[in-house]
């Protein structure tokens, strides 16, 4: 396998992961603090370590923290005076150089919780070429970009140089940024490993290391790379691990790399957010596509999750042809495409983001009030992180999951594992109850974007729409006499017919 293929962050691995992939990485020996036995933990989680040295108390205001004046001025100018709970609890200790183990739901302010400490403790120092002073490891490109965007204003105020190191982008440019000198590096494991192998980066001067969403790195198979990188940073440096969930896959990291950490665990799951509603909508198989289309046509933005890249592309094309401004996001897209799609979604130029689990973490969109699981997730952690795209930072939102009859039992198990009691409703497309819960409405039926041009080409060439989508199992072959369009599934055809009937009425 060549280097570029290896460094392209392996998002598809997340979808293929099955069982407990981190089990073989868990040591059975004593922990670093002397091997004292820890209390039993709930199934799926590990027992949190006991802090030997008492932590510093939480603060009520950012002004009570030992932060540089430039940072305090910027926070005040942004109207940020009171820290979120995880920031208030961990910042006094991380600023003092303590190791930290923090759990807080997605959207709870974890990025500034570790980011302000990293920047404040690095301020005033200058990195040599290829030798960063602080490292923030994240599992995905999107999360790397979000962390960089969130911390850049504070880094500039402190005259610190940041570099973002991820797959899917020019490795030469990233190597150039490291050669020029960067005090803080935000990286995904695969690309950073390749830069080290190319001798474009060394970690022996890294004093502060952060692992953000470490459980997802374990789930994606990055654990060996993560431990290899952590073994290269300066011994005795500060380590911080933050995540929305902490399960036994990251127990090795805590045991081996955190020394007497300050532990702060709040909001153990996204399902505990009081401003978030959870709905399970029971739908019939034949009506699922029509229901999905009407939800997508609602006023306002929505993220829709599906299992596979092909399903994402197929639904996106269908929505565009139905008059819904949709865009696809998955691991098969180039990084510039993904960046552009996210920017369009955040500005409202795209109203529906159709995505695989690549969008389940690392995406923050203000005022996003609806997430739809078109395909139910197979793991309760995936459900929590998908849902965490809404109801962020105190906002309200709803998570809707479409469940067919053969999926109901498994969905009940998943909700129980997530600690959620959803509202269950039987719905059909076109019904008032579906509209009440989701804002669903009939689409315009006027193609938009690329689909509009595709709809014109058949008229000019005498071809059927959606040519090139392929004929999957259960789809029309597009032969004369077939009422479905080429490449269009039975569910698509029924959704289109239902929308046309409602417009006629």
Torsion region of 282: left, alpha or beta (phi above 0 gives left; psi -120 to 50 gives alpha):
beta
**Average pLDDT for residues 433-456, to the nearest whole number?**
79
Strand bridging mode 208-212 / 100-103: unpaired
Number of other residues whose CB lies within 10 A of the CB of residue 448: 17
**CB 329, CB 358: distance < 8 Å:** yes
Q: Hey, what's the torsion of the CAs at 94, 96, 98, 104, to 10 degrees?
A: -20
**pLDDT bracket for residue 362 (50, 70, 90):** low
Domains and CATH numbers, the chain: 3-25+40-268 (3.40.50.300), 273-504 (3.40.50.300)
37-51, 62-76, 100-114: lowest mean pLDDT where? 37-51
**Average pLDDT for residues 253-275, to the nearest whole number?**
73
User: Which range has the top average pLDDT, 13-27, 205-219, 283-297?
Assistant: 283-297
- Token reading at 30: 């004593």
pLDDT at 484 over 50: no
Q: Which residues contact 337 (CB under 8 A, 6 or more apart)?
A: none
**Average pLDDT for residues 203-221, to the nearest whole number?**
88
**pLDDT bracket for residue 191 (50, 70, 90):** very high
CA distances from 349 to 225, 334, 392 (A): 38, 20, 21
pLDDT at 487 over 90: no
pLDDT for position 396: 66
pLDDT at 125 over 90: yes
pLDDT for position 44: 52
- Token reading at 457: 């080409």
pLDDT for position 105: 64
d(CA 237, CA 380): 34
pLDDT for position 391: 52
On average, the pLDDT of the chain sits at 79
**Average pLDDT for residues 57-82, to the nearest whole number?**
94
**pLDDT bracket for residue 336 (50, 70, 90):** confident
First to last CA, the chain: 58
Q: Higher model confidence: residue 17 or residue 240?
A: 240
Read off the pLDDT of residues 396-428 as tens digits, 9 standing for 90 and up: 688 999 999 999 999 999 998 888 889 999 999
pLDDT at 113 over 80: yes
**CB 132, CB 185: distance < 8 Å:** yes
- Token reading at 370: 């609806």
pLDDT at 331 over 90: no
Q: Could you tell me the pTM of the whole model?
A: 0.61
- Token reading at 75: 């926070």
**pLDDT bracket for residue 40 (50, 70, 90):** very low
d(CA 480, CA 363): 45
Read off the pLDDT of residues 310-329 as tens digits, 9 standing for 90 and up: 999 999 999 999 999 999 98
User: Which range has the top average pLDDT, 27-36, 238-247, 317-326, 390-399?
Assistant: 317-326
pLDDT for position 482: 42
- Token reading at 127: 């990195």
pLDDT for position 6: 39
164-178, 189-203, 335-349: lowest mean pLDDT where? 335-349
**pLDDT bracket for residue 395 (50, 70, 90):** low
pLDDT for position 310: 92
Could you tell me which residues are beta bridge partners of residue 302?
352
pLDDT for position 73: 96
pLDDT for position 386: 82
């Amino acid at each position: 396998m060549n280097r570029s293929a290896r460094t392209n962050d392996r998002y598809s691995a997340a979808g293929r992961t099955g069982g407990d992939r981190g089990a073989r990485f868990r040591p059975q020996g004593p922990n670093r603090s002397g091997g004292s036995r820890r209390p039993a933990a709930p199934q799926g989680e590990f027992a949190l370590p006991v802090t030997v040295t008492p932590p510093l108390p939480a603060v009520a205001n950012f002004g009570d923290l030992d932060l540089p004046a430039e940072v305090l001025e910027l926070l005040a100018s942004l109207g940020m005076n009171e820290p979120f709970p995880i920031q208030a609890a961990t910042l006094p200790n991380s600023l003092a150089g303590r190791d930290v183990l923090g759990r807080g739901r997605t959207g709870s302010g974890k990025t500034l919780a570790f980011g302000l400490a990293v920047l404040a403790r690095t301020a005033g120092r200058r990195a040599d070429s290829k030798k960063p002073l602080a490292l923030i490891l994240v599992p995905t490109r999107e999360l790397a970009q979000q962390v960089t965007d969130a911390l850049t204003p504070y880094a500039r105020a402190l005259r610190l140089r940041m570099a973002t190191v991820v797959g899917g982008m020019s490795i030469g440019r990233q190597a150039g940024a490291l050669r020029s000198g960067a005090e803080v590096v935000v990286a995904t494991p695969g690309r950073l490993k390749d830069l080290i192998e190319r001798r474009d980066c060394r970690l022996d001067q890294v004093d502060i290391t952060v692992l953000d969403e470490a459980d997802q790195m374990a789930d994606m198979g990055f654990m060996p790379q993560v431990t290899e990188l952590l073994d290269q940073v300066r011994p005795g440096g500060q380590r911080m691990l933050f995540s929305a969930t902490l399960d036994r896959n990251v127990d090795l990291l805590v045991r081996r790399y955190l020394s007497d950490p300050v532990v702060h665990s709040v909001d153990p799951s996204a399902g505990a957010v009081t401003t978030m509603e959870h709905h399970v909508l029971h739908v019939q198989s034949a009506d699922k596509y029509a229901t999905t289309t009407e939800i997508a046509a609602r006023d306002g933005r929505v993220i829709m999750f599906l299992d596979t890249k092909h399903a994402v592309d197929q639904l996106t094309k269908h929505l565009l042809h139905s008059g819904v401004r949709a865009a696809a996001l998955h691991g098969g897209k180039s990084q510039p495409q993904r960046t552009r799609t996210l920017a369009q979604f955040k500005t409202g130029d795209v109203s529906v983001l159709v995505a695989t689990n690549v969008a389940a973490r690392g995406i923050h969109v203000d005022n996003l009030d609806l997430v739809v699981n078109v395909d139910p997730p197979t793991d309760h952690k995936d459900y929590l992180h998908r849902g965490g795209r809404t109801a962020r930072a105190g906002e309200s939102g709803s998570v809707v999951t479409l469940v067919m009859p053969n999926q109901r039992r498994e969905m009940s198990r998943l909700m129980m594992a997530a600690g959620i009691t959803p509202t269950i409703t039987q719905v059909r497309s076109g019904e008032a109850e579906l509209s009440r819960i989701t804002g669903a409405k009939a689409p315009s039926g006027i193609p938009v974007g690329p689909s509009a041009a595709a709809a014109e080409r058949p008229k000019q060439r005498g071809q059927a729409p959606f040519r090139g989508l392929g004929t999957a199992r259960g789809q029309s072959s597009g032969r004369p006499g077939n009422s479905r369009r080429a490449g269009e599934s039975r569910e698509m055809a029924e959704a289109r017919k239902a929308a046309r009937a409602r417009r006629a009425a």
